[in-house]
């Protein structure tokens, strides 16, 4: 990217000062650093895209995966009952509900990923936990419909695909 006058501009993820990456288990995760209201903008993802999925990519549509840029969004954990969601048009991460200081900021990877690079066993503990998180492709019709309010326009378009 450049600034229109030929100078290189590094695309960066913007993060609210109400969130921060902290140690969590054996790694790091994104936490609320202050009380957050429902609907607050928490992140704006760097508009950097790759065509291949990876551990830190976020699928936007059939061709584009937001790249891992080693910034706050790379540390957002999955939850089947997430505290935040991604707006796929603006690439903004928004609080789904009030989030208390010290709580994890999570989103549902199944709302973006058709087929994940690295499936994993979810330990979110929610009553609606989907167990092994492998991607929207692997959900049955009822599970897909339960997620449709969070799912990307791309995944909504594939709701009935096998
Ligand atoms: Zn879960």
Q: Catalogue all structural domains in the chain, each as residue range(s) with its CATH number.
A: 14-161 (2.170.270.10)
Q: How far is the CA of 155 from the centre of ligand 1 (A)?
A: 19
Q: What is the pLDDT of residue 107?
A: 97
Kindly state the percentage of the chain with pLDDT values over 90: 87
- Would the pTM count as exceeding 0.85? yes
Q: How far is the CA of 133 from the centre of ligand 1 (A)?
A: 8
Distance CA(151)–CA(162), nearest Å, equals: 16
Average pLDDT over residues 52-72: 93
71 has pLDDT over 60: yes
Distance CA(143)–CA(139), nearest Å, equals: 6
Average pLDDT over residues 50-62: 93
Q: What is the pLDDT of residue 161?
A: 87
Q: What is the pLDDT of residue 123?
A: 92
Q: What is the pLDDT of residue 75?
A: 95
Q: How far is the CA of 53 from the centre of ligand 1 (A)?
A: 21
Average pLDDT over residues 1-25: 79
Q: How far is the CA of 154 from the centre of ligand 1 (A)?
A: 22
Distance CA(70)–CA(76), nearest Å, equals: 11
pLDDT-derived band at 5, boundaries 50, 70, 90: low
Q: What is the pLDDT of residue 11?
A: 83
Q: What is the pLDDT of residue 7?
A: 54
When the pLDDT of each residue in the chain is averaged and rounded to a whole number, the result is 93
Express each pLDDT in 87-135 by its tens digit. 999 999 999 999 999 999 999 999 999 999 899 999 999 998 999 999 9
């Amino acid at each position: 990217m450049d600034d229109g006058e030929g100078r290189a501009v590094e695309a960066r993820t913007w993060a609210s000062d109400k969130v921060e990456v902290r140690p969590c288990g054996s790694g790091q995760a994104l936490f609320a650093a202050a009380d957050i209201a429902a609907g607050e903008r928490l992140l704006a993802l760097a508009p950097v895209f790759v065509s291949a999925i990876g551990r830190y990519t976020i699928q936007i549509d059939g061709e584009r995966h937001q790249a891992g840029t080693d910034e706050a969004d790379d540390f957002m954990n999955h939850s089947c009952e997430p505290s935040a969601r991604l707006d796929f048009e603006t690439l903004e991460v928004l609080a789904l509900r009030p989030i208390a200081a010290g709580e994890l900021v999570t989103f549902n990877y199944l709302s973006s990923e058709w087929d994940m690079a690295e499936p994993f066993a979810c330990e979110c503990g929610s009553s609606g936990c989907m167990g092994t998180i492998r991607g929207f492709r692997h959900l049955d019709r009822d599970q897909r419909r339960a997620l449709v309010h969070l799912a990307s326009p791309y995944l909504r378009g594939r709701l009935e695909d096998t």
